[in-house]
Structure 1
Amino acid sequence: MNKKVLVMLAVPKDEIQKVLPDWNLIYPENEKFSQEELIEKVVDCDAIITVYGNKIVNEVIDAAPNLKMIANFGAGYDNIDVAHAKSKGIIITNSPDPVTEPTAELAMGLMISVARRMAEMDRKLREKQVTWGVMRNLSTTLVGKTLGIIGMGAIGKALARRAIASGMKVVYHNRNRVDEVIEKSFSAQYLALDELLKLSDVVSLNMPLTAETKGMIGKEELALMKSSAYLINTARGPVIDQQALIEALHSGRIAGAGLDVYENEPTVPDELLAMDNVVLIPHLGTATHETRKEMSTLVAENIKAFFNGETPPNRVV
């Protein structure tokens, strides 16, 4: 099989080659191809491996007349103009399964870190700004608190499992209510969005970025939250009105936030960088050695299935 696949960024290569040993793999020498290089190298490719958070412009798609498939490295595929690809008969797959546990793990870590002031105290201790004492540097325990999960998909469920093990209660909001068996397994209660925001001690955002979820958490929604509540975002930055969040944190409208994603990545507003009540990390939800390798394998398996005439396991369009 003399097929060609272009890999936009330098994701784990060996795993792709193991699944597609007979394919011509066009792989960047450095971290990634420039737009000019993409347009030049994609010309006779049958498939492209795109990477979440890195937009593939339509000019690249248009430069590849033989292109039949875009296989996205990541669960979210908002980096692809789906309508444009669909109009050209190009199918799109993603790689959701490997991202579930590490993203839920990170969301749990952000919850603990911001509530227990771990990142803040680490920073202040290193800068010799901590005064020790029994009633100093107090924080908030999560045991007995209510976690509100917005987006009860695979990641939301994995987070719920962790939260319950930590002694938390779980409520959730989802576009569609989940099966009653799943609700019972987590002792989870379905709530309207405004009720969830009012009740929760921690709100975790775990929904995909769509036209409906963009800006879903804005000034009005933040105003509904408890002043003692924390907001966690491991979804996509634009699901929050970032300026409204900054204002809510400045004013004490909410107690703090744990953020893995931002509205205009990789730019992080100076206002957030200056706040002690915010834990900030650079989009690390799936950033583990193991997960990256699993994602590369799954991306390649989707390609292999499609070009073998089978239905790819993770076709989204």
Structure 2
Amino acid sequence: MRKIVVANWVEKEVLDYLRAYGTVEANTTFEPWSAAELIRRCQGATALLSFMTESVDEAFLSACPDLRMVSCALKGYDNYDVAACRRRGVALSIVPDLLIGPTAELTVGLMIALGRKILSADRYIRSGAFAGWRPTFYGTGLAGSTVGLIGMGALGQAVAARLAGFDCSLIYFSQNRLTAEQETRLGARKVGLDELLSRSDYVTAVLPLTPETVHLLDAAAIARMKRGALLINTGRGSVVDEEAVADALASGHLGGYAADVFAMEDWALPDHPPAIPPRLLGADNRTILTSHIGSAVTKVRLEIAMEAARNIVDFLEGRALQGALAAN
């Protein structure tokens, strides 16, 4: 029987499905295995079902010579070396579509929660200080605001579509321009990055992590933002310089920061920080930080894991892979 390793907890239905095609060794806890433990588990394995917490590179593949397939339950592959997989004839696949809708929904939710100071007002109620309405917690609404989307791929377009009806002005910066029909349908206009930063009340980063996007929003870029503007990051943590964000929050130049992704998660970057900056964690009245829950919708996570499992089965059965990036 072929050995299949599942690196993180998944639903029983997924494990039962895979067991019909091989011997399954699964992590049944909510904590990821260490890199050394994952390598140990993958000895003799044909396929690996992996997640955001894993990293596959040349050294990993060298230590797991029998591995022929890596199926990522992910939209992207930032922590996976596509070239190394291709060189070694290891199939690599992702699940590109299922995560987009829930992540776009969370992005809009973070925009509203940050602008309307929802968490601060909630904490105030729970403190016992609330004695009825007072002219406090005034914030920024989407209606009448300018929203700038940095990135207009599938996620950016999904966010733009969900902003329809909020009566906001939408501008975007992207290397690739939408078609005229898409711009009309989404009510979006392409501008340069400097114009987007200087005009937007909300700046939303929905970018993948590439050499060009690392710290795209650094101290200099944040300084070009409108004073008091709000920054939301649901793309990848290292697209934003988190220390620069902490500086801008402390100075009052940045009105607030919401993030669902963090630089500490970008394992593929050799200099990624070990933790979220303490100053960012300490700015709790101006930040909303969620624990990478963009796709954390119960039925969607099951669909994602099942799709990744189906990719493994398709590979084992010799069928064409969906979302394949490298194949033998």
Shorter-normalised TM-score: what interval? Answer: over 0.9
Shift of 1:130: 4.6
Q: Where does residue 181 of structure 2 map in the other structure? A: 181
State how 1:34-113 maps to structure 2 within 5 Å. Answer: 34-56=34-56, 58-113=58-113
C-alpha contact (below 8 Å) 2:50/2:73 kept by paired residues: yes
Whole-Å separation in 2 of the counterparts to 1:155 and 1:7: 27
Letter in 1 for 2:194: D
Deviation by residue 1:250-282 (Cα, 9 ceiling, x = unmatched):
111121111111222473222122221111111
C-alpha contact (below 8 Å) 1:51/1:74 kept by paired residues: yes
Contact 1:42 1:60 in 2 (8 A): no
Gaps of 5+ in 1: none
Count of matched residue pairs? 316
Q: Give 1:316 shift.
A: 2.3
Distance 1:88 1:260, change over 3 A: same
Instruction: Name the residue aligned to 1:257.
Output: 257
Q: How does 1:134-283 map to 2 (within 5 A)?
A: 134-265=134-265, 267-275=275-283, 276-283=285-292
Letter in 2 for 1:236: R
Cα separation, 1, equivalents of 2:203 and 2:19: 42
CA RMSD of aligned residues (A): 1.9
Tell me, yes or no, if the aligned pair for 2:18 and 2:24 is still in contact at 8 Å: no
Compared CA separation, residues 310 and 181, structure 1 to 2 (3 A): farther
User: Using the alignment, how far apart are the partners of 1:137 and 1:29 within structure 2?
Assistant: 43
User: Which letter does structure 1 place at the counterpart of 2:24?
Assistant: L
Query: 1:226 is paired with a residue of what secondary structure?
Result: coil
In structure 2, the residue matched to 1:289 is 298
Q: Against the structure 1 CA distance between its residues 175 and 20, is the aligned structure 2 distance closer, same or farther, given a 3 Å change threshold?
A: farther
Q: Contact conserved, 1:50 with 1:56, CA < 8 A, in 2?
A: no
1:119-176 deviations in Å (ceiling 9; x for gaps): 1111122123456444222122111212111111221111111112222221111221
Between stretches 128-137 and 283-292, larger displacement belongs to 128-137
Q: Is the 8 A contact 1:164 1:170 kept in 2?
A: no
* Cα distance, 1:8–1:229 mapped onto 2, change above 3 Å: same
Q: Shift in Å at residue 57 of structure 1? A: 5.6
Could you tell me whether the CA contact under 8 Å between 1:20 and 1:304 is conserved in 2?
no
Deviation at 1:298, TM superposition (A): 1.1
- Tell me, yes or no, if the aligned pair for 2:249 and 2:255 is still in contact at 8 Å: yes
Taking a change above 3 Å as real, the CA distance of residues 302 and 57 of structure 1, as seen in their structure-2 partners, is same
Match of 2:307 in 1: 298
Deviation, 1:206, is: 0.8
Q: Is the 8 A contact 1:19 1:297 kept in 2?
A: no
Q: What secondary structure is seen at the aligned counterpart in 1 of 2:303?
A: helix
Q: CA deviation at 1:81?
A: 2.6
- Counterpart code for 1:267: A
63-72 or 31-40: bigger deviation: 31-40
The amino acid across from 2:27 in the alignment is P
Question: Gaps (5+ residues) in structure 2?
Answer: 266-273
* Counterpart contact for 1:160–1:170, Cα < 8 Å: yes
- Aligned residue for 1:71, secondary structure, equals strand
Classify the secondary structure of the residue corresponding to 2:311: helix
Partner of 1:25: 24
For residues 316 and 202 of structure 1, what CA distance do their matches in structure 2 show?
A: 34
Please state how far the C-alpha of 1:35 moved relative to its aligned partner.
Answer: 3.1
Alignment deviations for residues 168-221 of structure 1 (CA, whole Å, 9 cap, x no partner): 221111221122221111121011111111121111111111111111110111
